Amino acid sequence: MDFLQDPLKIAADWLLGIFTGWGMPEIAAQVLIGFLGVLILLSALMVLDIFLVWVERKVVSRFQDRIGPNRVGPFGLIQPLADIIKLLIKEDTTPEGADRVVYNIAPLLSMMSVLILWAIVPLAPTMLGVDLNVGALYLIAAGAIGTLSIIMAGWASNNKYALIGAFRQVAVMVSFEIPMLTVLLIPTIFAGSMGMSAITQNQDIWYVWITPLGALIFLIAAIAELGRAPFDMGEAESELVSGYNIEYSGMKFGMFYAGELLHAFTFGGFWAILFFGGYRFFGLEQVSAFLAVAVVVFKAMIGYWIIMWIKYTLLRIRIDHMLAFNWKFLTPLAFVLLMVTALLNALLADAASWFYISIMFLSNVLLGWISLEVARVYSRRQREKVEGPKVVEVAHH
Amino acid sequence: MRAGGFVATEILIWLIPLPPALAFFLIVLFTNKNKTLSHTIAVGAALLSWLGSMIVFVRALSIEHLGEHPFESSINWLPTGDTWFRIGVLVDPLTAVTLFFVAWTVLMIFIYSVGYHNFGQPEGDHDHKGLPPHGATVEDHGHKHAHAVPSVEPMYSRFFAFIGLFAFGMYVLVVSDNLLTLFVGWEIMGLCSYLLIGFWYAKESARDAAVKAFLTTRVGDVFMLLGIVYLYSVTGTLSFREIFAEDVLHTLATVPSSFLGFSAAGLIGLLLFMGTIGKSAQFPLHVWLPDAMEGPTPVSAMIHAATMVSAGVYAVIRMFPLISLDEKTMAIVAFIGAFTALFAATIAVAQNDIKRVLAYSTISQLGYMIAALGIGAYVAAAFHLITHAFFKALLFLGSGSVIHGMEHGVLHTGNHHVDPQNMFNMGGLRNKMPITFWTFLIGGFALSGFPLVTAGFWSKDEILADAFGHGHWWVFGTLAIAAFLTAFYTMRQITLTFLGEPRTKEAEHAQETPWTMTLPLVVLSVFAIGFGWFGIPEHFPALGGLFPNWIHDFVGGTLTEHPEAVEFNWIPLLTSLVVALGGLFFGWAIYRNVQTPAEDKLQIPILKNKYYFDEAYDFLFVKPAYWLAETFIYKWMDKRVIDGFLHIFDPLTNGLGAFIRNYFDLPVINRFFGDGSADVTYWFGGKLRVVQTGRIQQYLMFALVVFIVVGAALYFFVFAV
Amino acid sequence: MVPLSWYLILAAALFSVGLFGALSRRNAVAILLGIELMLNAVNINLAAFWRYGNVTNMAGQVFAIIVFAVAAAEVAVGLALVISVYRQRNTVIADDIDMMKF
Amino acid sequence: MTAEQIIFLLVAFFTLGSGFMVVTTRNLIHAALWLIATLFGVAVIFALLDAGFLAVVQVVVYIGAIAILFIFAVMLTRKDMRDQGPQMNRNWWFGALISVLTFGGLYFLLQGWNGLSKTAADIPSGFDAVGELGNALVSPNAYVLPFEVASVLLVAALVGAVYVAFNWK
């Protein structure tokens, strides 16, 4: 086995040889190696996270026509490290009347809910934590832990703003889980498996071409899950000061913040895996596992960038509008899309692939157009109910 | 599974009937307020079915020996004890060609209906639901005066929903692989024809016609259902392919029935044929079909040409292997067919209503097919079925176009007493409505069997040749006379309607109809001419062999034994040439100068009144039924006997009741049991109600205590012992 | 290997704990919490019998899924009732909601 | 004692302990959080039983939805965030007695059953439990009817819950 192809296995075998050479029982050695692997992955992610802080700040400054961090290090690259030092040495306050244990567990859970997602991310054909056969559900399950952390933070802070922020954020997350889970079933249908690696390997054609609407719904639901603008209900700094994390200071706040950034990046990665072929890029992944990792990170970066783009461009939506948008538009649309996709997939089982792809694509476009039309007509009716029928100015002559 | 293209043919066949049914539900449930959407959905559905049918047809063509290896697919449907009743779809050559003509005619009729109901015109002044559109007054700003235009049908969406359901029934009937689903489609069409004939339900005549059609066809259907049940009880299956297996047919032919010495096959065939008598309007159940002209014209085309009556003939062709097992049944079939052909043709010559002529002509032509079946020429019958569907649909749609043109005239003059359907009010329309005229002429010539160029000639000629070749002299003679009459009344119709000079002001102001109506006419007239070339006999002088006799080769492959082509003979050919040309000539020559009904020599009362069949049925069935219900059952049985009997019981039961009440009910039941048990219950309730604390957890605890105690007791004293 | 009995005893214990909660807590929401524990105990049993019986027969897992559905339905309706009662009577103490008595 | 047994015992004690906390904690929010801990324990038990799908669904449905609902309900049904008065009703000792009796009865019954000490056979290689489960849920020969009934139940519960909890103005 070539090192370039499967570095993990070779490294693991090498370590196993060393450990057993020390007289360690084989099973213990394997557990230790597993822990080491997890440690390396998590450390890499944390480092990436630090880098993401810089990316985020740079990008937002470009969007706002500023320069961004540029003092510490070249291009301000060291700035995040300075931030971390600041966060670490800040006073660690706990509000009066707070539920101490819960208050302290919440940021840990928040970070954890993101990190455990990486267990199922296929970085390369041979680099994969667990090839879970219920990967798509696992994605949602990890999100559930994130939800939990937010409500714990909001409640334990003993602060009205925090509680309201947590309530709103949780309502949004619980609601948008449904369209997300529904569209997750679409790649599942195509790949015949919920496993992330099976989904990646089946993407001879990127699924975004077969189900562009599904990719779009997933993106919207993912942004809502993240609680980023335009769905930043939990924070809503102009209304709630800072939302559920208002009472947190120092590194505890830092964990929420880093968790959110990494979460955004992770969802960019899942978007890439589910709809944009993951590590696959014209056979590049066959050359070397490192190239494959580079490809998937690159695609995740693009997804992350799009999420940032949306965040810094759009305005916040009112909470009731957002929930109505989910329950009355996105969820039904996702259900219809799932049914249409499943039906077409069964009907076109024997079809030529070009025909299959074009019909799938067209059906998605058609469905999107129809739903937009329905929404348009509905909203016009609503408006007319409030404002009365629109008076059209007639030109006199 | 033989897959071809992107959807397997078998799945496609399952899907063919669905769009019209879907259209029906969509229109009824959702879009009935929106006329554009309704007709778009209906026509779109017809188009989808048409597309599916064409794909299936083309794929069927590419398969050799389709008759032995048809497309078929079936699923378990009803559990019947140990086995399943399976339903499914089947496309063999007969189905394929039937699908072909059904899909074309249905699509054309759907498109035509859009134009026929004048979509896009304003709501009429006095239009209301259940009546034909009355016409609307429009202010013409250019000429500063108001004028009348045809108005839109008030129940536009409803119409498209119904014909959608109708098309669904027909497709189900055609693709089904067993008698049961065939019967289901058959009955759906029965229902739809009732709904559509009575579409203008505010007209009493339409209501009566709907009821008449429904009841008359029901008589045939009951016998057909009996036949199906009998067949199932003998063979244990209703699937065509299983029934037509060698040994099953042999069993059917040899098992005797207890009826007049028929074999089981003969009796079943006869019963099934009775269904066809009703559905295809054969003597003596033909009476409903002319009255069915009360419906809108596209319905007439749908029922009397493309689908419903064809379904009857289709069913007989479908069951031909079974029916042909018994000589006697075949003789009856041949007799009924030939008799109907002649009998209806004689009535047709005396009718003045443009649609009624066509209605009797349909009965007559169906008689032709039935007669052909009776003498065993099922390929010829199928051929004539197809060509007839095309040119009769064409004729009906053309007549609708004529009526529409005349209605334009009526609206123009404002004289609503002029009947736009009476041929004596027409004349000279060839200049006003040229497309309608030429297409109608093509259809009429095809119906008459105009030699060599029209499809009708080839199919009719084949029937005559078959009858002659197999020595059925009297059938041959009858059909030849009927053919002469057919040509005669067709030419009479064309002459009165289109030739000569306009006889009324209304006819002068008639105008051509919109493209949605004329386009189907043109398309159908192409088939009315062209389809005959697929069935030219091989030994025909000069033309024979130019084209392969495709119909014979393809449809003939439906049965396992391939039918022999009859030897060519000059006598039937000359006969059909003479009767067709002669009939056309006499029709033209006699009616060239006829201006009013009084000048028409053929307005004989007995023909005018259709041999008094309606009156006879009224006397034989309707009056006795009324008498039985009113006089016998109500006045005599009910009033006298039963009531009288009951009046004797009255004092007796009263006395008994009073006795029981006073001496048993009041003292024993009420005082003792009633009040006593109530007291006891009250007392117990008062004692026990303290248990009910309203606290749910206490209830749960009580329940669990009882559960544990009883469970332990059971365990130790019952199971452990 | 873990014998089947361990799972069953764990399930029985969890069930009893849940039963205690359902019988003894005053707060209606807490009663529902106890019922959730009981349902989970049932699910452990179902999954254990699936694993220790014939693995190809999915009955155990299927009914565990159905228990999930029932639990979700129960919580939805139960909590809705609790909230409704709270709106009407301003209490969620089960013993105080005792109008349905003689 | 093998590693698997140790893991099982740890998880079992964690589960039971947090379950006990659920029914005894005074603070209801804490009770709900302990419930989440219990549910996690049960999810791990599922994972130990090779029922990965159940484990994940347990997390999604119970923790992601049901437990959150509980926390919401607790917050919505409190006049203030303090816990006043006793959390047990007057008959709590009787409830405890019944619970102990139930456990004792179940334990007693299990003792008499001969399949109790059974150990699990290996899962045949290539056996796709999730796929099989999916097939079983929609196959007419298996459990499509219970499955559909469950979905009807869910719809009914949904409608009922919305109706009951709706704030009729």
Specify whether the CB–CB gap between A141 and A113 falls below 8 A.
Answer: no
Instruction: Let me know if chains B and C touch, i.e. at least 3 Cβ pairs under 8 angstroms.
Output: yes
What confidence category does residue B3 fall into, taking pLDDT thresholds of 50, 70 and 90? very low
Phi/psi of residue B273, each to 5°? -65, -30
- Residue among D91, D102, D109 minimizing CB distance to B698: D91
- For residue A350, the chain B residue with the least C-alpha distance is B6
Residues 6+ apart with CB under 8 A from A45: A115, A118, A262
When mean pLDDT is compared across B77-86, B229-238, B462-471, the lowest value belongs to B77-86
SS3 at position D63: helix
State how far the Cα of B519 lies from the Cα of B115, in Å rounded to an integer: 10
Name the pairing type of β-strands B83-91 and B71-80. antiparallel
Strands (E), B15-156: 71-80, 83-91, 136-140, 145-149
- Chain B residue numbers with beta carbons less than 8 Å from the beta carbon of A352 are 6
Nearest residue on chain B to A344, alpha-carbon basis: B7
Closest residue on chain B to C24 (Cα): B697
Helices A250-275 and A79-89 cross at an angle (nearest 10°) of: 140
Residues in CB range of A325: below 8 A, 6 or more apart: A317
Chain D touched by B701 (CB under 8 Å): yes
Choose the weakest-confidence range: A18-32, A55-69, B468-482, C58-72. Answer: A18-32
**Cα distances (Å, whole numbers) of residue B704 to B709, C19, C23:** 8, 10, 10
What pLDDT is recorded for position B548?
66
What is the C-alpha to C-alpha distance for residues B512 and B517, in angstroms, rounded to an integer? Answer: 10
Which of B48-62, B567-581, C45-59 has the lowest average pLDDT?
Answer: B567-581
Pairwise CA distance, residues A130 & A34, whole Å: 11
**Option in B698, B701, B711 nearest D105 (CB):** B711
Burial A339-365 (b: 16+ CB within 10 A, else e): ebbeebeebbeebeeeebeebbbebbe
Residue carrying the six token digits 């329950």: A327
Which residue of chain B is at minimal alpha-carbon distance from D96?
Answer: B701
pLDDT on residue A127 = 77
What the block records as the tokens of B241 is 């392919």
Average pLDDT rounded to a whole number, residues B198-216: 88
Residues of D with Cβ-Cβ distance to B720 under 8 angstroms: none
Closest in B6, B8, B11 to A352, CB measured: B6
Give the containing element (helix H, strand E) for B59: helix B35-61
Cβ–Cβ under 8 Å, residues B463 and B537: no
CA B35 to chain CA centroid, nearest Å: 26
Contacts of residue D101, Cβ cutoff 8 Å, sequence gap at least 6: B708
pLDDT category at D81 given cuts 50, 70, 90 is very low
Mean confidence (pLDDT) of chain B: 83
Instruction: Tell which B residues from 646 to 705 touch C, by Cβ distance under 8 Å.
Output: 689-690, 692-697, 700-701, 704
In this model, does residue D169 exceed pLDDT 70? no
Query: Residue C69 above 50 pLDDT?
Result: yes
* Rounded Cα distance, D96 and C19, in Å: 8
CB contact under 8 A, B701 and D98: yes
* Closest alpha carbon within chain D to A105: D33
- Which of C8, C65, C74 has the highest number of chain D CBs within 10 A, making it the mutation to test binding with D? C65
Residues near A118 by beta carbon (within 8 Å), at least 6 away in sequence: A41, A42, A45, A129, A266
DSSP tally for chain A: helices H, then strands E: 16, 2
The pair of three-digit structure tokens given for residue B566, joined into one six-digit string:
């009859």
How far is residue B466's CA from residue B568's CA, in Å, rounded to a whole number?
10
Rounded-to-integer distance, Cα B103 and Cα B116, Å: 19
Nearest to D87 among C25, C43, C61 (CB): C25
Residue linked to tokens 């030849």: B480
Chain C CB within 8 Å of residue B33 CB? no
Residue D141 contacts B, CB cutoff 8 Å:
no
Indicate the domain borders of chain C: 4-96
Q: To which residue do tokens 């049940």 refer?
A: B229
Q: Do B156 and B117 touch, CB atoms closer than 8 A? A: yes
Digit-coded pLDDT (tens) for C9-44: 999 999 999 999 988 888 888 889 999 999 999 999
Torsion angle (degrees, nearest 10) of CA B635, B636, B641, B647: 30
Phi-psi region of A91 (alpha: psi -120 to 50; beta: other; left: phi over 0): beta
* Both structure tokens of B578: 């003479």
- Please, which chains are in contact with C (at least 3 CB pairs closer than 8 A)? B, D
Confidence of residue B47 (pLDDT cuts 50, 70, 90): very high
Residue among B353, B527, B352, B362 nearest B442 (CA): B527
Chain D residues near residue B714 by CB distance under 8 angstroms: none
Q: Which fold has domain C4-96?
A: Helix Hairpins (1.10.287)
Query: What is the Cα–Cα distance from B607 to B600, expressed in whole angstroms?
Result: 13
User: What is the spatial distance between Cα C55 and Cα C52, in angstroms, rounded to a whole number?
Assistant: 7
Cα distance between residue B292 and residue B214, in whole Å: 10
Which residue type is seen at B640?
R
CA end-to-end distance (rounded Å), chain A: 84
Half-sphere exposure for D126 (CA within 13 Å, toward CB): 0
For A332-389, give the DSSP string.
HHHHHHHHHHHHHHHHTTTS-HHHHHHHHHHHHHHHHHHHHHHHHHHHHHHHHHHH-S
The closest alpha carbon to B76, from B185, B235, B239, belongs to B239
Any idea which of B57-66, B328-337, C3-12 has the lowest mean pLDDT? Answer: B57-66
In C25-94, alpha helices (H):
28-52, 59-89
Candidate from B690, B694, B697 with C-beta closest to C100: B694
Mean pLDDT in residue range B128-157: 71
Predicted local confidence at residue A369, as pLDDT:
92
Closest CA to A200 of A102, A92, A126: A126
Quote the tokens at residue A377: 């007509």
> Which residues of chain B have a CB within 8 Å of the CB of D105?
708, 711-712
Chain-chain contact of B694 with C101 (C-beta, under 8 angstroms): yes
Residues of A with CB under 8 A from a CB of D: 27, 99, 102, 132-134, 137-138, 140-141, 143-145, 147-148, 151-152, 155, 158, 163, 167, 170, 174, 177, 181, 194
Domain residues of chain A, as ranges?
1-89, 97-387
For chain D, say whether B697 makes contact (Cβ under 8 Å). Answer: yes
- Please name the residue of chain A whose CA is at the shortest distance from the CA of residue D64: A144
In angstroms, how far is CA B562 from the centroid of its own chain?
30
Is the pLDDT reported for residue B1 higher than 50?
no
What does the CA dihedral D124, D125, D131, D134 come to, rounded to 10 degrees?
A: 10
The label of the residue with tokens 């009803």 reads B78
CA distance, residue C97 to nearest chain D CA (Å): 13
- Closest partner residue to B697 (CB to CB) among C94, C99, C100 is C94
| Full DSSP string of B106-118 | HHHHHHHHHHHTT
* pLDDT confidence of residue A396: 59
pLDDT in tens, D125-144: 778 888 888 888 888 778 88
Ranges under pLDDT 50 in chain A: none
B715: contact with D, CB 8 A cutoff: yes
From the CA of D49, how many Å to the nearest CA of chain C?
Answer: 6
B657-695 pLDDT per residue, tens: 999 988 888 888 888 888 888 888 889 888 888 877 778
Residue ranges per structural domain of chain B: 212-325, 326-601, 636-708
Tell me: pLDDT of D113 over 90: no
Residue ranges in B69-128 assigned as alpha helix (H): 93-116
- Burial class (CB within 10 angstroms; exposed 0-12, middle 13-18, buried 19+) of B396: buried
Query: Above 80 in pLDDT, residue B418?
Result: no
Cβ-in-10-Å burial (0-12, 13-18, 19+) of A275 comes to buried
Q: Tell me if chain A has a CB within 8 Å of the CB of B37.
A: no
Contacts of A355 in chain B (CB under 8 A): 6
| Cα(D66)–Cα(C35) distance, integer angstroms | 12
CA distance D66 to D69: 5
- Is chain C touching chain A, with at least 3 CB–CB pairs below 8 Å? no
Q: How far apart are the C-alpha atoms of B525 and B454, rounded to whole Å? A: 10
Give strand pairing partners of B73.
B89
Q: Using CB atoms and an 8 Å cut-off, which of residues 3-22 of chain B contact chain A?
A: 3, 6-8, 11
Cα–Cα distance, D7 to D9 (Å, whole number): 5
Scanning every residue of chain D, which has its alpha carbon at the shortest distance from the alpha carbon of C14?
Answer: D16
Q: What confidence category does residue B2 fall into, taking pLDDT thresholds of 50, 70 and 90?
A: very low
Chain A residues touching D59 at Cβ < 8 A: 141, 144-145
- Residue pair B391/B528 in contact by the 8 Å Cβ criterion: yes
> For the stretch D21-31, what's the b/e string if a residue is b when 16 or more beta carbons lie within 10 angstroms of its beta carbon?
bbbbbebbbbb
CB of C69 within 8 Å of a chain B CB? The answer is no
Residues in chain A with CB shorter than 8 Å from the CB of B6 are: 348, 350-352, 355
**B616-672 pLDDT tens trace:** 888 888 888 888 888 888 888 888 888 888 888 888 888 899 999 888 888 888 888
Nearest C-alpha in B relative to D104: B708
Instruction: Give how far Cα B644 sits from Cα of B105, B530, B657, D16, Å.
Output: 61, 73, 20, 83
- Answer whether D7 touches B (CB < 8 Å): no
For residue B711, give the chain D residue with the closest CA: D105
Which residues are bridge partners to B72 per DSSP? Answer: B90
Cα three-residue angle A293-A294-A300, rounded to 5 degrees: 90
Tell me how many residue pairs between chain A and chain B have CB atoms under 8 A apart: 12
DSSP string, B184-223: HHHHHHHHHHHHHHTSSTTSHHHHHHHHHHHHHHHHHHHH
Chain D positions in Cβ-Cβ contact with residue C82 (cut-off 8 Å): 73, 77
Q: Tell me, what's the pLDDT at A285?
A: 75
Q: Which of D76, D99, D147 to mutate to test the interface with C (most CBs of C within 10 A)?
A: D99
Beta strands A122-124; A127-128: pairing state: antiparallel
For residue C49, pLDDT beyond 50: yes
**How confident is the model over B434-443, as pLDDT tens digits?**
888 888 888 8
Confidence check: pLDDT of B408 > 90 = no
- Produce one character per residue of A277-292: b if its CB has 16 or more CB atoms within 10 Å, e if not: bbbbbeeebeebbebb
